[in-house]
């Protein structure tokens, strides 16, 4: 049984079919890689799950429908995500950026906040400790006091990943967390994703172009092309599927399909 499940999800922008009857599911403790060329609809699926888009079809999380809910309500249910471009708050430092994600865990009333009553202080300290632990875990402590706007993009992406973790999500959606990272940073990220999967035991959905990373740590792969699902299964099986290879890598690279090929069809950018 899937914890997070999409059934026949369809999304249109005017006459453009962005998602065409997409169905997929993720179990708890499972890392599902969502791959496909740019424009295939991967980020759109995330935006449907997090409530930014209004698709038709069904999206269920532990039996509750997410369709029609506000993004903040969906986030409050425990569906956390990272963004392709990190989307941090440039004026704040890393620690404060992570702290923002504790929003729904903090219960202090407005008056308690305004007067900084002992209850509010205690709560802040407790949650700051969670933030500090995540910073420590991601080896970001030494950068935590710097405004994130001035940090390298790769570091911002890791902070964005940390921000999603800090919320203690019940589902984690990661939108190309490795894009813009150096090889070294990618390896570190892969380690953190794998560690988070094992520790949290939650369903994780992961958009990724780096096939080496996918082959190494994904439990399963779901392939999209032009808004359609064209494959789903264990990494070695899917990456050898001729249709997947053709759609994803282009016909000329058939023979190179495998773990060491990481060439997306185009390097465009899509934003939220």
Match 């940090």 to its residue by tokens. 151
The answer to whether 233 touches 4, Cβ cutoff 8 Å, is no
Distance in Å, CB of 12 to other proteins, minimum: 20
Q: Which of 50, 84, 156, 241 binds other proteins (CB under 8 A)?
A: 50
Which residue lies nearer to other proteins by CB, 62 or 272?
272
Which tokens in the block code for residue 126? 């407790």
Q: Is 133 one of the binding residues for other proteins (CB under 8 A)?
A: yes
Among 17, 52, 62, 261, binds other proteins (CB under 8 A): 52
Q: Is 234 in the site for other proteins (CB under 8 A)?
A: no
CA pair distance 118, 204, nearest whole angstrom: 37
User: Could you tell me how far CA 248 lies from the centroid of its own chain?
Assistant: 20
Q: Which residues contact 262 (CB under 8 A, 6 or more apart)?
A: 209, 210, 211, 212
Which residues within the stretch 92-131 sit at the binding site for other proteins (CB under 8 A)? 92, 96, 99-104, 106, 108, 110, 113-116, 120, 122, 124-126, 128-130
* Nearest distance in Å: CB 18, other proteins: 17
Q: Which residue in 39, 35, 4, 41 sits closest to 19, CA to CA?
A: 41
State both tokens at 232.
Answer: 């789903």
| 186 forms part of the interface with other proteins (CB under 8 A) | no
Residue closer to other proteins (CB basis): 46 or 248: 46
For residues 148 and 92, the answer to whether their CB atoms sit within 8 Å is yes
In the complex with other proteins, the residue whose CB is nearer, 54 or 70, is: 70
Q: Segment contacting other proteins (CB under 8 A): 57-65, 89-97, 210-218, 229-237?
A: 89-97
């Amino acid at each position: 049984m899937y914890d997070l499940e999409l059934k026949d999800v369809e999304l249109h922008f005017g006459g453009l079919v962005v998602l065409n009857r997409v169905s997929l599911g993720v179990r708890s403790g499972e890392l599902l890689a969502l791959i496909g060329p740019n424009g295939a609809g991967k980020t759109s699926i995330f935006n449907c799950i997090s409530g930014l888009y209004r698709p038709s079809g069904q999206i269920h999380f532990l039996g509750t429908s997410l369709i029609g809910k506000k993004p903040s309500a969906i986030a409050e249910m425990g569906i956390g995500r990272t963004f392709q471009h990190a989307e941090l708050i440039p004026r704040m430092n890393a620690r404060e950026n992570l702290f923002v994600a504790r929003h729904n865990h903090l219960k202090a009333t407005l008056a308690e906040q305004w007067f900084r009553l002992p209850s509010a202080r205690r709560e802040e300290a407790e949650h700051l400790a969670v933030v500090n632990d995540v910073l420590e875990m991601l080896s970001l402590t030494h950068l935590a006091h710097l405004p994130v706007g001035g940090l390298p993009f790769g570091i911002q992406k890791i902070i964005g990943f940390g921000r999603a973790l800090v919320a203690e999500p019940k589902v984690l959606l990661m939108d190309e967390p490795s894009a813009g990272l150096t090889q070294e940073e990618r390896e570190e990220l892969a380690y953190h994703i794998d560690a988070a999967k094992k520790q949290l035991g939650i369903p994780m959905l992961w958009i990724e172009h780096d096939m080496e990373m996918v082959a190494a740590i994904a439990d399963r792969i779901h392939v999209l092309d032009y808004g359609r699902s064209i494959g789903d299964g264990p990494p070695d099986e899917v990456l050898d599927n001729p249709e997947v290879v053709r759609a994803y890598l282009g016909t000329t690279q058939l023979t190179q399909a495998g773990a060491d090929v990481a060439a997306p069809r185009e390097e465009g950018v899509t934003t939220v």
